[in-house]
Amino acid sequence: MWKRFSLRTRFFLPLGIMFVAALLVGAISLQLYVPEQLSDENAPAARSARAVANALDSALRTSANPQATLDAFAQTLGTSEAIRFYPYGASHPQPPLEVRTPIGRVPRWFVDLLTIPEVGASFPVRIEGKQVGEIIFAPDLSADMFEKWIGFVAITFSAVALMLLTGIIAHFTAGAVLRPLQDLGQGLTRMRGGDYKQFIRPSGPPEIRRSAEEANELARTLCRLSQDNRGLLRRIVSLQDDERQDMARELHDELGPLLFGIRAKAVALLESIPHGNLELAASADGILQSVEALQQANRRILDRLRPLYIQELGLEKSIETLLQYARTQAPRLKLVSHIDGRLNAIEGLLTQTVYRVIQESITNVMRHARAGSVTVEASMKTAELIVEVSDDGIGFPKDCVFGRGLTGMQERARALSGTLDLVRENGWTIVRCRLPVGGGALG
């Protein structure tokens, strides 16, 4: 649970616990030491009351008129709060242990919190062996209680002020640490997303500044490696396209004439067979059909290896031709396209990448998706080109691993500093390719 707390919470929670603990320690200390302190403070007065009671007993024993001496003694005490004389037979005196607290000065809960000791005492007064009253020692502890209350309030307010001051310092200290850490975290997040050009501003304590500087150095290194990697991928893709063109040229220039020659000879053989030789005619016709099938397969391979329509018709018409061919191959597949006419303005490797992404996506849908509808969208935004091919087929497994086709598309996108994502949204499988449109992406 502690791991879930933020840095500020980790600062303030111990402070709050320390404050509560200080209050508890203060309350326990009051309960432990106040009774003993009150007893020690009132012990001399209790001894004085005992001495007064003993002196009065001695005076009454030796007095000719004990009652007059007792009355004079009572008048001498007057209205003393601590030591009082109560004649025998009077109403029962106020309990000595009752603490008289000034109303509004000491809260009742504070008085109840303390354990008031037995500080009061009573001493009998006798005349000729007969008890005629009592000298009661019942000190008023209001002043003592008020003193303890003021001390408790002072300690509490001091603790609160100290906690607030410490909390303010901790707040600004945590903020001074968190802001650089947040900048560092955001910078690392940008680096994870492939943005190595926006550096982290070094700030905060020296340790965090050094971490930010190290992260910036890492970003520079990754930027160089990323540029080198894109250059290598661009070179690989270019070499692959060149190799495809060479293969397409070889198939067109070498295999094409051979197939045409075989087809012509098969037609001549079929025409020269005498009527009635059905077996030989069937064999020649089979050869002719096989050659025609080989010619069609050769044309399909040529179209996949080298889309000749791009340079002649432009990218938009080339994509429409590709989709029209897909409609003839899968007549039950509902195929809808939205192709931006501005795609004809791009050229070079970017043109090849857009065409290959759509070509490979449509091929995968026809082979694996079992889809009923496909939508192809290619649009130009302010600074990027977006290609999306979505279908309502069975989707892909959670542990889907890119095959050769998807891997090739991803390499092409990365070579142009773009991205390729395969997602499942609302029952549709979407191949989404984003390519930057700029000097580095053109040509």
Has residue 378 been placed in a domain? yes
**230-to-195, 223, 237, 411, 422 alpha-carbon distances in Å:** 14, 10, 10, 9, 21
Look at residue 434 in the predicted model and tell me its pLDDT.
92
**9-to-3, 16, 185 alpha-carbon distances in Å:** 11, 10, 19
Has residue 366 been placed in a domain? yes
311 vs 20, higher pLDDT: 20
Mean per-residue pLDDT of the chain: 78
Q: In which domain, by residue range, is 44 found?
A: 2-168
Has residue 418 been placed in a domain? yes
Determine the straight-line distance between the first and last CA of the chain, rounded to whole angstroms. Answer: 56
Average the pLDDT over 270-289 and give the result: 80
User: What distance in Å separates the CA atoms of residue 282 and residue 269, rounded to the nearest whole number?
Assistant: 11
Has residue 384 been placed in a domain? yes
**412-to-230, 232, 246 alpha-carbon distances in Å:** 9, 11, 19
Q: What is the DSSP string of 387-410?
A: EEEEE-S----TT----HHHHHHH
pLDDT above 80 for 331: yes
User: What distance in Å separates the CA atoms of residue 205 and residue 196, rounded to the nearest whole number?
Assistant: 24
Last residue of a domain, one of 168, 186, 220: 168
Look at residue 303 in the predicted model and tell me its pLDDT.
67
pLDDT tens for each residue of 239-265: 776 777 677 677 766 777 777 788 787
Last residue of a domain, one of 142, 168, 194: 168
Average the pLDDT over 127-154 and give the result: 78
pLDDT above 60 for 211: yes
Last residue of a domain, one of 168, 185, 209: 168
Q: How many domains does the chain have?
A: 2
User: What distance in Å separates the CA atoms of residue 212 and residue 50, rounded to the nearest whole number?
Assistant: 80
Look at residue 134 in the predicted model and tell me its pLDDT.
78
Has residue 219 been placed in a domain? no
Has residue 11 been placed in a domain? yes
pLDDT tens for each residue of 75-98: 777 655 677 777 775 444 444 434
User: pTM to 2 decimals?
Assistant: 0.47
pLDDT above 60 for 59: yes
User: What distance in Å separates the CA atoms of residue 119 and residue 317, rounded to the nearest whole number?
Assistant: 109
